[in-house]
Amino acid sequence: MVTVGGEIDLYTAPQLRNELVESLEAGARRLVIDMSRAEFCDSTGISVLLSAMKRSRDRGGDLELVAPKPAVMKVLQVTGLDEVFVIHPDLDALPVAAGTGTAQ
């Protein structure tokens, strides 16, 4: 699980990209991103999320967003990406990974 906070924009998106790529290179297939602390996400941040989702799916996994705030959710809805990403309303709604007994 990766927790993001503040603004995901041109300046901070590279840090998020690095974090997600490192997770995938370390063997993660399922990327869970806790968005509950992210106040804003611009097109650069959306691009990073889409790229990570593609990389994860190429490895047989997926990328899931958890608890996006209304401002972030609005961007996802306006772009139609709320239909592309798996989005959970909160951490309690996150399904447990098969065979692990804990959420990842």
Give the residue-averaged pLDDT of 38-55.
96
81-89 mean pLDDT: 95
Q: Could you state, in order of their start, the residue ranges of all structural domains in the chain?
A: 2-91
Q: Distance (Å, rounded) from C-alpha 4 to C-alpha 26?
A: 19
The CATH number that domain 2-91 falls under is 3.30.750.24
**CB hemisphere CA count around 1 (13 angstroms):** 15
Q: What is the pLDDT of residue 95?
A: 77
Q: What percent of the chain clears pLDDT 90, i.e. is strictly above it?
A: 84
Name which of 89, 51, 53 is nearest 69 in CA terms: 89
HSE (side-chain half, CA atoms, 13 Å) at 88: 18
